[in-house]
């Protein structure tokens, strides 16, 4: 008899991790091998994992790689990247080589200001009340700063208050922005605490009701600007450089292309974000909002050719990251990533991430206007197929190379080749 299963499991979150895993294994019919795989936590202590999020039953390792060749602001970096997509690390390293001349890629991130929002509704005479908020600006800033003495002691804290009146379909609202210098933190917890703390005061000043009290991930006061140049020889000649500029122009004129253009930038940015345990959703949300700031979705980077025939690129985007707080200090691998990177401040981390974003973008555009994106991908894809087909050691390359040579990069063929070579080598398949 078929018994319908229920996902309603009261108290699931209170059970020991082992027990939760047992329930899920039974639910899904996981084999003992699959259960063992889930239990492999790698460099992450299961207790830490269990404390990081809720309902943990295991861990999922991703490859941790290092991009080479990066020279940023006159300094060399080995850049840790965590990502499931092949070719990204190779492409970043490759483009970084093209952009190494002189001081390499230049990246500047200055202010580390985040915006805490408080939305007030049911306010009478909202424009007048908005001004009243400004009258109490110092009081609001003081109250916000009382919430985070550590941040204030280090030289950060609330700096300013901005107000706007907006019309919503539920009536007018006052939007209050608390501008906070979060120094080396990503800042969401810090800012959210402040936003919640000042809300009652804002209600008192306006006679309205505070609805939302939370950070905005549209981090327009936390921008990274990056610029770099590559000689025409470095990118494969003047013709290639011209086509990269064409690709840049197309992204400016076509939002469908701009989205993919920016996805390429984020391939680099987010891989570093994952390696350093950042809130990558925040970075992505902010990046896309910034790309659409003029009302049309635009590329975050541009490419041109200067008078000397050099290919010159620029990138501007918000990057909200931290080297303290959040998961950064909790995840041991993230700590190792920061050590490899050798960065001590959120600002420098954002600069590196922006530089990787621009390099990634160059690599993608160059591949697109020359051999196409698939060739590089297919090489790694062929290797993955060979591994999936059971190849180990030298056989991985032998099988992958043959599939590429013959233009038959398929799983069934990989299997056929693995079996053939195994037979020839007299190994067991
Ligand atoms: P946090 O609160 O863990 O750490 C920040 C605190 O560290 C500061 O408030 C300060 O008191 C202290 N600190 C010590 N040294 C510091 C220094 N040099 N610079 C700055 N602060 C220093 O973390 P957070 O960065 O405020 O918040 C990040 C977390 O919030 C992330 O895990 C994120 O996922 C989460 N979050 C994000 C959102 C969002 O983005 N919308 C919403 C809620 C939570």
Cβ atoms of 217 and 285 within 8 Å: the answer is: yes
Q: What residues have CB less than 8 Å from 151, skipping those under 6 apart?
A: 145, 157, 182, 183, 185, 190
Residue 322 Cβ contacting ligand 1 at under 6 Å: yes
| Cα-based distances in Å from 179 to 156, 158, 186, 282, 341 | 11, 6, 14, 17, 29
- Report the distance separating Cα 429 and Cα 422, nearest Å: 6
Q: What is the pLDDT of residues 172-195, one digit of tens each?
A: 999 999 999 999 999 999 999 999
Atom 43 of ligand 1: nearest residue by CA position: 188
Q: What is the pLDDT of residues 102-142, one digit of tens each?
A: 899 999 999 999 999 999 999 999 999 999 999 999 999 99
- 273: closest CA among 285, 258, 260, 261? 285
Give the model's pLDDT for residue 1.
Answer: 55
74 C-alpha to ligand 1 centroid (Å) = 30
Atom of ligand 1 nearest to the CA of 150: 11
334 C-alpha to ligand 1 centroid (Å) = 15
Residue 217 Cβ contacting ligand 1 at under 6 Å: yes
Supply the pTM of this predicted model.
0.91
Instruction: Output 29 or 427, whichever has higher pLDDT.
Output: 29
Instruction: Output 153 or 375, whichever has higher pLDDT.
Output: 153
Residue 327 Cβ contacting ligand 1 at under 6 Å: yes
Residue 151 Cβ contacting ligand 1 at under 6 Å: yes
Pocket probe mutation, ligand 1, options 155, 183, 283, 325, max atoms within 8 Å of Cβ: 325
Q: What is the pLDDT of residues 6-36, one digit of tens each?
A: 999 999 999 999 999 999 999 999 999 999 9
Q: Where are the alpha helices (DSSP H) in 181-237?
A: 188-206, 232-235
187 C-alpha to ligand 1 centroid (Å) = 4
Residue positions annotated with a catalytic role:
85, 263, 279, 377
Q: What residues have CB less than 8 Å from 8, skipping those under 6 apart?
A: none
Give the model's pLDDT for residue 107.
Answer: 98
Residue 186 Cβ contacting ligand 1 at under 6 Å: yes
Give the mean model confidence (pLDDT) for residues 385-402: 93
Give the model's pLDDT for residue 380.
Answer: 79
Q: What is the pLDDT of residues 244-267, one digit of tens each?
A: 999 999 999 999 999 999 999 999
124 C-alpha to ligand 1 centroid (Å) = 35
Assess whether pLDDT exceeds 90 at residue 425.
no
186 C-alpha to ligand 1 centroid (Å) = 5
Residue 144 Cβ contacting ligand 1 at under 6 Å: no
Atom of ligand 1 nearest to the CA of 327: 32
Give the model's pLDDT for residue 427.
Answer: 54
Buried b (16+ CB within 10 A) or exposed e, 157-170: bbeebebeeeeeee
Helix, strand, or coil (residue 99): coil
Assess whether pLDDT exceeds 90 at residue 3.
no
- Report the distance separating Cα 269 and Cα 364, nearest Å: 14
Assess whether pLDDT exceeds 80 at residue 86.
yes
Give the model's pLDDT for residue 387.
Answer: 93
* Model confidence band, residue 429 (pLDDT cutoffs 50, 70, 90): very low
Assess whether pLDDT exceeds 90 at residue 307.
yes
Assess whether pLDDT exceeds 80 at residue 303.
yes
Between vectors from CA 357 to CA 356 and to CA 359, what angle results, nearest 5°?
Answer: 65
């Amino acid at each position: 008899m078929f018994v319908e299963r229920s996902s309603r499991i009261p108290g699931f979150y209170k059970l020991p991790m082992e027990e939760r895993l047992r329930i899920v294994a039974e639910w899904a019919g996981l084999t003992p091998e699959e259960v063992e795989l889930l239990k492999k936590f790698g460099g992450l202590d299961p207790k830490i994992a269990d404390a990081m999020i809720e309902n943990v039953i295991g861990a999922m390792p991703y490859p941790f790689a290092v991009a080479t060749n990066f020279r940023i602001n006159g300094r060399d970096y080995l850049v840790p990247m965590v990502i499931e997509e092949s070719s990204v690390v190779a492409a970043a390293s490759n483009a970084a080589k093209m952009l190494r001349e002189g001081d390499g890629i230049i990246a500047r991130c200055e202010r580390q200001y985040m915006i805490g929002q408080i939305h007030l509704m049911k306010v009478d005479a909202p424009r007048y009340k908005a001004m009243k908020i400004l009258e109490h600006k110092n009081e609001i800033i003081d109250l916000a700063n009382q919430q985070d003495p550590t941040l204030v002691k280090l030289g950060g804290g609330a700096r300013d208050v901005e107000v706007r009146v907006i019309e919503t379909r539920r009536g007018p609202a006052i939007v209050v922005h608390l501008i906070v210098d979060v120094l080396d933190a990503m800042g969401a917890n810090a800012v959210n605490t402040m936003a919640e703390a000042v809300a009652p005061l804002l209600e008192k000043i306006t006679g309205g009701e505070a609805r939302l009290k939370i950070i905005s991930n549209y981090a327009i006061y936390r921008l990274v600007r990056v610029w770099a140049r590559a000689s025409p020889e470095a990118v494969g000649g003047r013709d290639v450089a011209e086509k990269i500029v064409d690709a840049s122009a197309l992204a400016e004129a076509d939002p469908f292309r701009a989205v993919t253009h920016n996805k390429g930038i984020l391939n680099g940015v987010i891989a570093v974000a994952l390696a350093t345990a950042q809130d990558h959703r925040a970075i992505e949300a902010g990046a896309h909002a910034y790309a659409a700031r003029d009302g049309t979705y635009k590329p975050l980077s541009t490419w041109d050719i200067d008078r000397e025939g050099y290919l010159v690129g620029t990138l501007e985007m918000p990057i909200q990251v931290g080297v303290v707080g959040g998961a950064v200090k909790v995840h041991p691998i993230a700590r190792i990533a920061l050590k490899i990177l050798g960065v001590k401040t959120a600002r420098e981390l954002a600069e590196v991430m922006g530089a990787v974003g621009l390099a990634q973008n160059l690599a993608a555009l160059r591949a697109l206007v020359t051999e196409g994106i698939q060739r590089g991908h297919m090489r790694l894809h062929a290797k993955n197929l060979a591994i999936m087909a059971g190849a180990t050691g030298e056989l991985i390359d032998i099988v992958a190379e043959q599939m590429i040579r013959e233009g038959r990069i398929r799983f069934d063929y990989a299997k056929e080749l693995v079996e053939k070579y195994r037979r020839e080598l007299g190994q067991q398949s």
